[in-house]
Amino acid sequence: MESADLPPPGMGRARSPGALAGIKVVDLTRVLGGPYCTMVLSDHGAEVIKIEPPQGDEVRDWGPPFLGDDASYFIGVNRNKRSMGLDLGKPEGKAVLLKLLEDADVLVENFKPGSMEKWGLGYEADLAPKFPALIHCRVSGFGAHGPLGGLPGYDAILQAMTGLMSINGDPTTGPMRMGTPIVDIGTGLYSVIAILMALHERSKSGLGQYCDMTLHDCGMALLHPQAANFFLNGKRPMPMGNPHPNLAPYEKYATRTGEIFIASGNNGQWKKLCEALGKPELGPDPRFADNADRLTNRAAMIAELAALLADKDGHEFCLGLLRQGLPAGPVLPIDVSMAAEHTAAREMVTELDGYRGLGTPIKLSRTPGGTRRKPPRYGEHGEEVLREHGFSADDIAKLKSGGVLYTTRRR
């Protein structure tokens, strides 16, 4: 971008073509894990063409709230993309996809394993021979092999099956689903990493490859430190609520102005915390002198800290601790965190022509990413994309009349 074309600062908008400018992604994904992956790529300059089935990405209906016809769930993970409605079940739809793949770098899809192969679009047999430089990333629940191979996967189900749910909550609640779809989002992020690795390797070999990404594997990969503890001590990790299984103090406390969270990563931080609380003698107290001691005597330590914190201004106290390099922060609801001055300074709320969303957390100095386009309406760019790929007006009209190209959702 030329300097005259740069958007105003503070809005989370892109100020450069992006680190992935020139990379073309054909996106066949729906719901969350795949779309989150392709949004991250698009934030940083990749051209993403989102091909939706005739009925559309179902999360367009996952509301309220809605903006026009689209639910917040769709809006939150689909900015910077162009949308085309296409029936891949018809030979003409498959032909359109193959045309789009001729100069594509990446294909991302999250169909049930075996679906692409059934349509003659499998990686090894069909796509790799035609497009040897193509990187094909599949996001699925369990992968294609193993006892659960080919079965569908959903975030909450994988939170349950991988053990993530078993370590959330506390002894009174039992296992609880995490409030954010961490498996879907984690899989999206791991998929971005896989794609970037494959692109890097392709720069040396000239060849694409298949990225086999599953909710199961990515959910398992998030089990730290509980899995590491289990591998070492053989004990089943249990839900603990806010406390940390390996560190103390590491929990929530009530103050005069609201709840705060305090963490301590080493004995030096513990001693400084005790000094800040006006009770330095707790630092070398034999019950609390080392982290192992504090874990053993956690209940007594919590009682001491709770009494000292009850009358504090929690926000001011946390800010003072942070300025000393001590981990602490107020427990904020989402509306308050969104309105925080630091959120604005970091451009973590982005806006463009009535669209508001979370900004990109990936901050690059020379090639910053950000918002370029609002999330697309269904089929908004289908004709535009086809024209760019050499389809004539007659070709496009035939695809529309033949029920292959859709500009409105089939209900």
pLDDT tens, the chain, 411 aa long: 544 456 666 789 999 999 999 999 999 999 999 999 999 999 999 999 999 999 999 999 999 999 999 999 999 999 999 999 999 999 999 999 999 999 999 999 999 999 999 999 999 999 999 999 999 999 999 999 999 999 999 999 999 999 999 999 999 999 999 999 999 999 999 999 999 999 999 999 999 999 999 999 999 999 999 999 999 999 999 998 999 999 999 999 999 999 999 998 899 999 999 999 999 999 999 999 999 999 999 999 999 999 999 999 999 999 999 999 999 999 999 999 999 999 999 999 999 999 999 999 999 999 999 999 999 999 999 999 999 999 999 999 999 999 999 999 998
374: left (phi over 0), alpha (psi -120 to 50) or beta: beta
Residues in the chain: 411
Specify the pLDDT at position 99: 98
**259 and 331 Cβ atoms separated by less than 8 Å:** yes
- Based on the domain organization, do 123 and 50 belong to the same domain? yes
pLDDT of residue 33: 97
Examine the domain organization and report whether 316 and 217 are in the same domain: no
Residues 330 and 370 in one domain: no
178 with 78, same domain: the answer is yes
Please report the sign of the dihedral spanned by the C-alpha atoms of residue 355, residue 358, residue 362, residue 364.
Answer: positive
Name every residue whose Cβ is closer than 8 Å to that of residue 374 and which is 6 or more positions away in sequence. 79, 352, 353, 354, 355
Based on the fold, state whether residues 156 and 279 are members of the same structural domain.
Answer: no
Asked if 11 and 145 sit in the same domain, the reply is yes
The confidence score (pLDDT) of residue 10 equals 73
Of 286, 315, 338, which one is at a domain's C-terminal end?
338
Residue 346 located in a structural domain: no
SS3 per-residue string spanning the chain: CCHHHCCCCCCCECCCCCCCCCCEEEECCCCCHHHHHHHHHHHCCCEEEEEECCCCCHHHHCCCCEECCEEHHHHCCCCCEEEEEECCCCHHHHHHHHHHHCCCCEEEECCCCCHHHHCCCCHHHHHHHHCCCCEEEEEECCCCCCCCCCCCCCHHHHHHHHCCHHHCCCCCCCCCCCCCCHHHHHHHHHHHHHHHHHHHHHHHHCCCCEEEEEHHHHHHHCCCCHHHHHHHHCCCCCCCCCCCCCCCCEEEEEECCEEEEEECCCHHHHHHHHHHCCCHHHCCCCCCCCHHHHHHCHHHHHHHHHHHHCCCCHHHHHHHHHHCCCCEEECCCHHHHHCCHHHHHCCCEEEECCEEEECCCCCCCCCCCCECCCCCCCCCCHHHHHHHCCCCHHHHHHHHHCCCEECCCCC
Q: 328 and 282, same structural domain? A: yes
Quick one: 316 and 367 in the same domain?
Answer: no
Q: Could you give phi then psi for residue 141, rounded to 5 degrees?
A: -75, -50
Number of domains in the chain: 2
Active site residue 313: no
The residue from 314, 338, 362 where one domain ends is 338
Per-residue pLDDT, 7: 64
Quote the CA–CA distance of 291 and 59 in Å, as a whole number: 46
Domain limit, last residue, from 338, 363, 392: 338
Cα–Cα distance, 360 to 13 (Å, whole number):
9
- Give the per-residue pLDDT at 411: 86
Q: Is residue 241 part of a domain?
A: no
Q: What pLDDT is recorded for position 3? A: 47
Full-model pTM:
0.94
Q: What is the largest distance, in Å, between two alpha-carbon atoms of the chain?
A: 84
Considering the domain boundaries, does residue 93 fall inside one? yes
Long-range contact pairs involving 125-134 (C-beta distance under 8 Å, separation at least 24): 127/101, 128/208, 128/210, 130/98, 130/101, 131/101, 131/102, 131/104, 131/208, 132/206, 132/207, 132/208, 133/105, 133/202, 133/206, 133/207, 133/208, 134/101, 134/104, 134/105, 134/106, 134/107, 134/208
- Assigned domain for 46 exists: yes
Exposure on the CB side of residue 408, measured as CA atoms within 13 A = 3
Q: Return d(Cα 57, Cα 77) in angstroms, integer.
A: 12
- 190: which 2 tokens? 């791991």
324 and 256: one domain?
yes
The answer to the question of residue 260 being in a domain is yes
88 assigned to some structural domain: yes
- Same domain? 186 vs 269: no
Q: Domain with 283 in it: what CATH number? A: 3.30.1540.10
The answer to whether residues 150 and 277 belong to one domain is no
Active-site position among 184, 212, 217, 353: 184
Q: What is the extent of the structural domain holding 319?
A: 250-338
CA dist 256 and 316 (Å) reads 11
Question: What pLDDT shows up at residue 1?
Answer: 52
Q: What is the pLDDT of residue 317?
A: 97
Does the residue 321 lie in any domain? yes
> Domain check: are 325 and 359 in the same one?
no
**90 within 8 A of 382, measured Cβ to Cβ:** no
We report the CATH number of the domain holding residue 50 as: 3.40.50.10540
Q: Is residue 77 part of a domain?
A: yes
Tokens for 91, please give them: 């030979």
Q: What is the spatial distance between Cα 360 and Cα 346, in angstroms, rounded to a whole number?
A: 10
